[in-house]
Chain A
Amino acid sequence: MATTALTPAATAYRSGLYDWVTTTDHKKIGILYVINSFLFFLIGGLFALGVRSQLVVPDNKLISPELYNQLFTMHASIMIFLFIIPMLAGFGNYIVPLMIGAPDMAFPRINALSFWMLPLAGIIMLSGFLTPGGAAAEGWTSYSPLAQRAYSGMGTDLWIVAVALIGTSSILGSVNFLVTIFKMRAPGMTMFRMPIMVWTVLVTSVLVLMATPVLTSGLIMLFIDRNYGGHFFDPATGGNAILWQNIFWFYSHPAVYIMILPAMGMISEILPVFSRKPLFGYKAFVFATAGIGALGFSVWAHHMFTTGAVYLPFFSFMTFLIAVPTGVKMFNWIATLYRGQLTFSTPLLFALGFLSMFLIGGIDGAFSAAVPVDFALHDTYWVVAHLHYVLFGGSVFGVMAGTYYWFPKMSGRKLNETLGKIQFVLMFIGFNMTFFPMHLLGLDGMPRRIAVYASTAGWSQLNLVATIGSIIIATSMLPFLWNVFITLRNGEPAGDDPWEGNTLEWATTSPPPPYNFDHLPPIRSERPVFDVRHGRVADHGSQA
Chain B
Amino acid sequence: MPTTRKKLPRLAAIALPLIALLVAGCASQIPALYPPQDVTSQAATTRSLYDIVFLIGAIVFFFVEGLIVFAVLRYRRKPTDTELPPQIHGNNRIEVIWTVIPTAIVLFLFIISWQALNSVDAVTADPAVRVAAVAKRFSWNFLYLGSNGRPLFTTDAAGDGNFGELVVPVGVPIQVELYSPDVIHAFYVPKFLFKRDVVPGRTNEFDFTVDAQDVNQTFRGQCAELCGVGHAGMTFDVKAVSMADYQTWLQQQISQALASPPAAPSGSPAGGGGTPGGPSPSAGGAAGTSVQITAQNIAFTTTNVTAPAGQPFQIQFANNDPGTPHNVEIKNPDGSVAFKGAIVTGPTTTTYDVPALPAGTYPFQCTVHPTMTGTLTVK
Complex contact A66–B75 (CB within 8 A): no
A534 to B83: give the CA distance in the assembly, Å.
10
Q: Which of A362-398 contact B (CB under 8 A)?
A: 363-364, 366-367, 369-373, 375-376, 378-380
Number of inter-chain CB pairs below 8 Å = 322
Contacting chain B: which of A109-117, A118-126, A212-220, A439-447?
Answer: A439-447
Contacting chain A: which of B32-40, B127-135, B150-158, B331-339?
Answer: B32-40
Contacts of B95 in A (CB 8 A): 281, 284, 328, 331-332
A105 to B117: give the CA distance in the assembly, Å.
50
- Specify which of A278, A372, A439 is in contact with B45 (CB 8 Å cutoff): A372
A376 to chain B, nearest CB (A): 4
B5 to chain A, nearest CB (A): 9
A160 to chain B, nearest CB (A): 17
B69 to chain A, nearest CB (A): 8
Contacting chain A: which of B193-201, B259-267, B284-292?
Answer: B193-201
Complex contact B102–A458 (CB within 8 A): no
Complex contact B65–A356 (CB within 8 A): yes
Complex contact A316–B102 (CB within 8 A): no
Complex contact A359–B117 (CB within 8 A): no
Contacts of A343 in B (CB 8 A): 77
Contacts of A334 in B (CB 8 A): 64, 67-68, 71
Asked, given contacts A341-B77, A445-B220, whether A379 binds B195 with beta carbons under 8 Å apart, the answer is yes
Is B116 part of the contact surface with A, judged by Cβ < 8 Å?
A: yes
Contacts of B7 in A (CB 8 A): 344
Q: Which of B55-70 contact A (CB under 8 A)?
A: 56-57, 60-61, 64-65, 67-68
Complex contact A369–B109 (CB within 8 A): yes
Is B249 part of the contact surface with A, judged by Cβ < 8 Å?
A: no
Complex contact B64–A376 (CB within 8 A): no
Is B378 part of the contact surface with A, judged by Cβ < 8 Å?
A: no
A542 to B90: give the CA distance in the assembly, Å.
9
Asked, given contacts A375-B120, A439-B33, whether A544 binds B88 with beta carbons under 8 Å apart, the answer is yes
A281 to B93: give the CA distance in the assembly, Å.
11
B220 to chain A, nearest CB (A): 7
Complex contact B72–A69 (CB within 8 A): no
Contacts of A250 in B (CB 8 A): none
> For residue A237, which residue of chain B has the nearest CB?
B345
A359 to chain B, nearest CB (A): 5
Contacts of B183 in A (CB 8 A): 143, 145-146, 151
- Chain A residues bordering chain B, tally (CB within 8 A): 108
B68 to chain A, nearest CB (A): 6
Name the residue in A308, A317, A375, A452 with the highest tally of chain B Cβ atoms < 10 Å from its Cβ: A375
Complex contact A380–B102 (CB within 8 A): no
Is A199 part of the contact surface with B, judged by Cβ < 8 Å?
A: no
Complex contact B224–A376 (CB within 8 A): no
A232 to chain B, nearest CB (A): 12
Is B356 part of the contact surface with A, judged by Cβ < 8 Å?
A: no
A275 to B10: give the CA distance in the assembly, Å.
18
Contacting chain B: which of A33-41, A221-229, A319-327, A512-520?
Answer: A319-327
Contact with B along A295-338 (1 / 0, CB 8 A): 00000000000111100110011001101100110111011011
> For residue B46, which residue of chain A has the nearest CB?
A372
- Specify which of B54, B75, B232 is in contact with A340 (CB 8 Å cutoff): B75
Is A433 part of the contact surface with B, judged by Cβ < 8 Å?
A: yes
> For residue B29, which residue of chain A has the nearest CB?
A458
Contacting chain A: which of B275-283, B293-301, B303-311, B321-329?
Answer: B321-329
Contacts of A428 in B (CB 8 A): 9-10, 13
Is B17 part of the contact surface with A, judged by Cβ < 8 Å?
A: yes
A330 to B182: give the CA distance in the assembly, Å.
45
Is B243 part of the contact surface with A, judged by Cβ < 8 Å?
A: no
Is A79 part of the contact surface with B, judged by Cβ < 8 Å?
A: no
Complex contact B36–A375 (CB within 8 A): no
Is B159 part of the contact surface with A, judged by Cβ < 8 Å?
A: no
Is A339 part of the contact surface with B, judged by Cβ < 8 Å?
A: yes
- Specify which of A146, A241, A373, A443 is in contact with B33 (CB 8 Å cutoff): A443
Contacts of B3 in A (CB 8 A): 344
Complex contact B72–A337 (CB within 8 A): yes
Complex contact B116–A372 (CB within 8 A): yes
> For residue B232, which residue of chain A has the nearest CB?
A450
Complex contact A242–B199 (CB within 8 A): yes
B360 to chain A, nearest CB (A): 34
Is B342 part of the contact surface with A, judged by Cβ < 8 Å?
A: no
Complex contact A328–B113 (CB within 8 A): no
B122 to chain A, nearest CB (A): 11
Q: Which of A233-251 contact B (CB under 8 A)?
A: 234-237, 239-242
Is B230 part of the contact surface with A, judged by Cβ < 8 Å?
A: yes
Complex contact B195–A306 (CB within 8 A): yes
A197 to chain B, nearest CB (A): 18
Asked, given contacts A146-B184, A277-B85, A445-B190, whether A436 binds B31 with beta carbons under 8 Å apart, the answer is no
Complex contact B20–A437 (CB within 8 A): yes
Is A11 part of the contact surface with B, judged by Cβ < 8 Å?
A: no
Complex contact A308–B196 (CB within 8 A): yes
A137 to B184: give the CA distance in the assembly, Å.
15
Is B16 part of the contact surface with A, judged by Cβ < 8 Å?
A: yes
Contacts of B9 in A (CB 8 A): 425, 428-429
Complex contact B87–A309 (CB within 8 A): no
A28 to B206: give the CA distance in the assembly, Å.
57
Complex contact B199–A241 (CB within 8 A): yes
A240 to B87: give the CA distance in the assembly, Å.
57
Complex contact A280–B88 (CB within 8 A): yes
- Specify which of A340, A344, A367, A421 is in contact with B85 (CB 8 Å cutoff): A340
Is A461 part of the contact surface with B, judged by Cβ < 8 Å?
A: yes
Complex contact A328–B98 (CB within 8 A): yes
Complex contact A376–B35 (CB within 8 A): yes
B229 to chain A, nearest CB (A): 4
A162 to B43: give the CA distance in the assembly, Å.
42
Complex contact A69–B229 (CB within 8 A): yes
A447 to B227: give the CA distance in the assembly, Å.
12
A265 to B266: give the CA distance in the assembly, Å.
71
Is B125 part of the contact surface with A, judged by Cβ < 8 Å?
A: no
A483 to chain B, nearest CB (A): 17
Is A138 part of the contact surface with B, judged by Cβ < 8 Å?
A: yes
A357 to B20: give the CA distance in the assembly, Å.
16
Is A14 part of the contact surface with B, judged by Cβ < 8 Å?
A: no
Complex contact A309–B199 (CB within 8 A): yes
Complex contact B194–A355 (CB within 8 A): no
Contacts of B102 in A (CB 8 A): 323-324, 327-328
Is A180 part of the contact surface with B, judged by Cβ < 8 Å?
A: no
Additional pairs, 9, CB under 8 Å, beyond known A313-B117, A363-B60, A376-B35: A65-B232, A143-B184, A324-B99, A335-B88, A337-B75, A341-B75, A356-B65, A379-B195, A440-B31
For the complex of A and B, list the 5 residue pairs with the smallest distance between their C-beta atoms, beginning with the closest.
A445-B190, A235-B201, A444-B31, A370-B113, A341-B77
| Residues in chain B within 8 A of chain A (CB atoms) | 3, 6-7, 9-10, 12-14, 16-17, 20, 24, 29-36, 43, 45-46, 49-50, 53-54, 56-57, 60-61, 64-65, 67-68, 71-72, 75-78, 81, 84-91, 94-95, 98-99, 102-103, 106-107, 109-110, 112-114, 116-117, 120-121, 182-184, 186, 188, 190-191, 193-197, 199-202, 204, 206, 220, 222-233, 322-325, 345
5 contacts between A and B (CB under 8 A): A241-B201, A320-B107, A334-B68, A359-B64, A376-B35
